[in-house]
Amino acid sequence: MVTEEGGTLLSLLSECVRRLGADHTATLGARHNRAWALYLLGRFGEVDEAIRMVAEAYVRRFGTEYPIVLAARQLSCRTRSALGHMDAGIELMSDVVAQRERSLGPEHPFTVASRRLRDEYRPDRWHPPQPSGG
């Protein structure tokens, strides 16, 4: 269960920014983790912009097919879909799957998980996410 008790995960980002700077790799990771926590809390509007900014920063730092870039883009896909933008979510997830197939291979566990998630977004299978806490 994800909760905001104590605010530890959600406040870690401000501590990273203060101590390491806004562009430090650990700060980007904290931004990504905070976005995931907000997603689990069902705060999709907050996640949408935040994870897109993280993905853009990762691309500048690591290139387009680096695994952490694709993880951020996958969370963006989940968020876009949760906000009701299914076509955008499916398009983005299809791109993530294609990039993971090229960079990691078609049988890599991350590729398989991305493909499964993309398939869950078919209109006859998709169910909006439910917040898991908070």
pLDDT at position 14: 87
Global pTM value: 0.81
Q: Are 79 and 44 in contact (CB under 8 A)?
A: yes
Measured CA distances, 3 to 39, 79, 106, 134 (Å): 12, 19, 35, 5
The identity of residue 18, as a single letter, is R
Q: How far apart are CA 133 and CA 76, in angstroms?
A: 20
Is residue 1 pLDDT above 90, yes or no? no
Q: Please name which of 52, 75, 55 lies closest in space to residue 63, comparing C-alpha atoms.
A: 55
Q: pLDDT (tens digit, 9 = 90+) per residue, 44-99?
A: 999 999 999 999 999 999 999 899 999 999 999 999 989 989 888 889 999 999 99
Rounded to an integer, the average pLDDT of 100-116 is 94
